[in-house]
């Protein structure tokens, strides 16, 4: 009964999209701020159901919270004072436990993993990432490695048009990039269609190569062993700290030695915790990448030659597109195969 109530009263971001009669195409490549603005403009209720005032923090919480995929991280907080019922954040004072498939998922696990992979990719890009164009999010300058951005030329005249250029091209204090400005129709989309159709000529081999990559990414045995070992170490350190504190409270101890040992264990706890977080991120990245590759594989199996642009195919097929000063573009596919046009 409780599970059914959770499904009804805890709306997900995807349920919100359905309420607004929209598809994921309309929010694909957007930032958390962009998604929040889109949801507000379509009067989609927030998870509380009390308003439509979405914020980027609310969107970020939904996209990163493990509860939405059916898992639970136990003991994020604990009661520090039972008399006052004062709750505090658990920063290592007590062990935490991660439980998979704890309850019914709201967001499919594979979708959530794809989201985490994309968020890692964007975090590596940093402030240069822009959600205003599906093309700008993957176009890279071959000179400096920065992203291309969508710009408006002659915005106040009848000759106004959109162009793409390196975001760092005119930055002060650095050599000006020699990579060219690009137009969307003639330069980017036309070349993408040509590259895509060349891929179709070797479709069978690409499918075989992609299957091999997916198999490699899906094997997380070594990472799982590492995560289990790190979790055991963290629990042992937490238990040692708790025992030290209880012993210190009951019997007189050398406080200098106690403080030194406590600090030593605390540092070791933080070291192991950082290593665990890194290992979990690595696993999530691999599984998320594998999920993206499966989507790529399914798209490839059903794909035919293109005669006109397709933003859906661009998003599913292209990892990056690097622009060089001779105006060639190297399209890197999701399976790491590269074609230069």
| pLDDT per residue as tens digits for the range 140-182 | 999 988 888 888 887 777 778 888 999 888 887 777 899 999 9
pLDDT the model gives residue 150: 85
pLDDT (mean) for 272-288: 86
Q: How far is residue 319's CA from residue 72's CA, in Å, rounded to a whole number?
A: 32
Instruction: Report which listed range, 35-49, 206-220, 293-307, is most confident.
Output: 206-220
Q: How far is residue 36's CA from residue 54's CA, in Å, rounded to a whole number?
A: 5
Residue 274 has pLDDT above 70, yes or no: yes
Name the pTM for this structure. 0.59
Instruction: Report which listed range, 11-25, 112-126, 133-147, is most confident.
Output: 133-147
pLDDT bucket at 125, cuts 50 / 70 / 90: low
pLDDT bucket at 309, cuts 50 / 70 / 90: low
What secondary structure does DSSP assign to 289-325, as a single string?
HHHHHHHHHHHHHH----SS--HHHHHHHEEEEEE-T
pLDDT single digits (tens) 226-244: 999 998 998 899 888 888 8
Up-side HSE of residue 180: CA atoms within 13 Å toward CB? 11
Q: Alpha-carbon dihedral of residues 4, 5, 7, 8, nearest 10 degrees? A: 120
Q: Domain residue spans in the chain?
A: 1-64, 128-341
Q: Rounded mean pLDDT of the chain?
A: 79
Q: Which residue has the higher pLDDT, 153 or 92?
A: 153
pLDDT bucket at 331, cuts 50 / 70 / 90: very high
pLDDT the model gives residue 97: 76
Residue 32 has pLDDT above 90, yes or no: no
Q: Which residue has the higher pLDDT, 144 or 312?
A: 144
302-309 contacts at long range (C-beta below 8 A, 24 or more positions apart): 303/200, 303/203, 304/200, 305/197, 305/200, 306/193, 306/196, 306/197, 307/193, 308/193, 309/185, 309/189, 309/192, 309/193
Spatial CA neighbour of 138 closest among 262, 13, 319: 319
User: What are the C-alpha distances in Å from 67 to residues 45, 48, 62, 74, 335?
Assistant: 19, 16, 9, 11, 31
Q: Which residue has the higher pLDDT, 137 or 218?
A: 218
Residue 291 has pLDDT above 70, yes or no: yes
Up-side HSE of residue 168: CA atoms within 13 Å toward CB? 16
pLDDT the model gives residue 128: 57
Rg from Cα positions in the chain: 25
Q: How far is residue 130's CA from residue 137's CA, in Å, rounded to a whole number?
A: 6
Residues 68-87, buried b or exposed e (16+ Cβ, 10 A)? bbbbeeeeeeeeeeeeeeee
Residue 31 has pLDDT above 80, yes or no: no
Spatial CA neighbour of 258 closest among 269, 245, 270, 271: 245
pLDDT bucket at 329, cuts 50 / 70 / 90: very high
Residue 323 has pLDDT above 90, yes or no: yes
pLDDT bucket at 17, cuts 50 / 70 / 90: very low
Alpha helices (H) along the chain: 2-9, 13-19, 32-41, 56-64, 109-125, 190-200, 203-218, 221-250, 255-302, 311-317
The Cβ of residue 322 has, within 10 Å, a number of other Cβ atoms equal to 20
Residue 127 has pLDDT above 60, yes or no: no
């Amino acid at each position: 009964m409780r599970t059914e109530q959770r499904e009804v009263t805890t709306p997900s971001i995807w349920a919100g999209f359905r309420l607004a009669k929209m598809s994921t195409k309309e929010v694909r490549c957007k930032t958390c701020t962009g998604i929040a603005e889109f949801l507000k403009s379509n009067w989609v209720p927030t998870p509380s159901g009390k308003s439509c005032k979405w914020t980027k923090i609310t969107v970020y919480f939904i996209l990163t919270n493990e509860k939405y995929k059916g898992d639970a991280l136990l003991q994020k907080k604990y009661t520090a004072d039972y008399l006052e019922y004062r709750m505090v954040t658990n920063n290592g004072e007590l062990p935490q436990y991660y439980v998979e498939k704890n309850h019914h998922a709201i967001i499919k696990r594979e979708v959530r993993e794809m989201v985490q992979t994309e968020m890692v990719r964007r975090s590596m890009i940093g402030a240069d990432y822009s959600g205003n164009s599906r093309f700008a999010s993957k176009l890279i300058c071959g000179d400096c490695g920065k992203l291309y951005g969508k710009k408006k030329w002659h915005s106040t005249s009848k000759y106004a048009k959109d162009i793409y250029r390196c975001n760092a091209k005119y930055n002060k204090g650095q050599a000006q990039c020699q990579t060219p400005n690009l137009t969307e129709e003639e330069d980017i989309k036309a070349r993408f269609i040509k590259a895509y159709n060349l891929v179709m000529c070797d479709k069978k081999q690409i499918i075989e190569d992609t299957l091999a990559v997916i198999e490699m990414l899906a094997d997380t045995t070594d990472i799982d062993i590492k995560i289990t070992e790190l979790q055991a170490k963290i629990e042992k350190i937490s238990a040692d700290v708790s025992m030290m504190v209880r012993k210190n409270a009951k019997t007189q101890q050398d406080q200098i030695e106690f403080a030194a040992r406590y600090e030593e264990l605390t540092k070791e706890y933080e070291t192991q915790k950082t290593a665990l977080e890194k290992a979990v991120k690595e696993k999530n990245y691999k599984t998320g990448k594998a999920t993206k590759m499966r989507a790529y594989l399914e798209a490839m199996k059903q794909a035919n030659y293109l005669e006109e642009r397709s933003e859906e195919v661009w998003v599913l097929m292209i990892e990056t597109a690097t622009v060089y000063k001779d105006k060639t573009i190297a399209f890197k596919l999701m399976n790491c195969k590269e074609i230069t046009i």
